[in-house]
C-alpha cells in the first residue's frame, strides 16, 4: 500500500503543477484533461480543458492533483486529500469499509475507466480519502 497527497485546485491545477515541477524538480508523468476521458459527457464543455488528474514524480514519490470540477464526487473539496493505493481489490474493499465507517461516501467503491476499484470518502475525522486499486 502507498499513501500520497492529492491536491485539489479551483481550475489552476496545470499551472500549479508546472510551478511545483520548476520548484521541486521531478517529472510530470500524467496530465489528464476531463475532455480527453470518458467523463467528458459528465462535465460542462467549459471544463474539458481542465485537469482531471495530474501526477508529479519526485525521487520515487508522487504528488497528485486535479481541478475539483462541478459534478465530480469530491466537488467543492479544495485543498488536499489522502490518496491510498491498494494492492488488491480485497484491500481496497477493506480500506473502503474502514475509512467510511462513521464518515461519508462521496463516490462508492466501484470499477472506473482508470482503476479496478476507486472510491472517494471522508472519514469520521473529516479527512478526505481517495481509494484506488489500479
pLDDT in tens, 49-65: 999 999 999 989 999 99
Per the structure, the count of domains in the chain is 1
CB 64, CB 53: distance < 8 Å: yes
CATH code at position 110: 3.10.180.10
pLDDT of 14 reads: 95
Tell me the C-alpha to C-alpha distance, in Å, between residue 106 and each of 71, 119, 129.
11, 8, 10
d(CA 50, CA 71): 13
Q: Which domain holds residue 79?
A: 2-133
pLDDT(70) > 70: no
pTM comes to 0.74
pLDDT(67) > 70: yes
Amino acid at each position: 500500500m502507498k499513501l500520497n497527497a492529492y491536491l485539489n485546485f479551483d481550475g489552476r491545477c496545470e499551472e500549479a503543477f508546472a510551478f511545483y515541477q520548476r520548484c521541486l524538480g521531478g517529472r510530470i508523468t500524467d496530465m489528464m484533461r476531463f475532455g480527453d476521458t470518458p467523463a467528458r459527457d459528465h462535465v460542462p464543455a467549459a471544463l474539458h480543458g481542465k485537469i482531471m488528474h495530474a501526477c508529479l514524480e519526485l525521487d520515487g514519490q508522487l504528488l497528485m492533483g486535479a481541478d475539483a470540477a462541478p459534478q465530480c464526487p469530491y466537488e467543492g473539496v479544495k485543498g488536499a486529500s489522502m490518496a491510498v493505493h491498494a494492492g488488491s481489490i480485497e484491500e481496497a474493499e477493506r480500506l473502503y469499509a474502514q475509512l467510511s465507517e462513521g464518515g461519508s461516501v462521496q463516490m462508492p467503491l466501484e470499477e472506473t475507466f482508470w482503476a479496478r476499484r476507486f472510491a472517494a470518502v471522508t472519514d469520521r475525522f473529516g479527512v478526505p480519502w481517495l481509494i484506488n486499486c489500479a
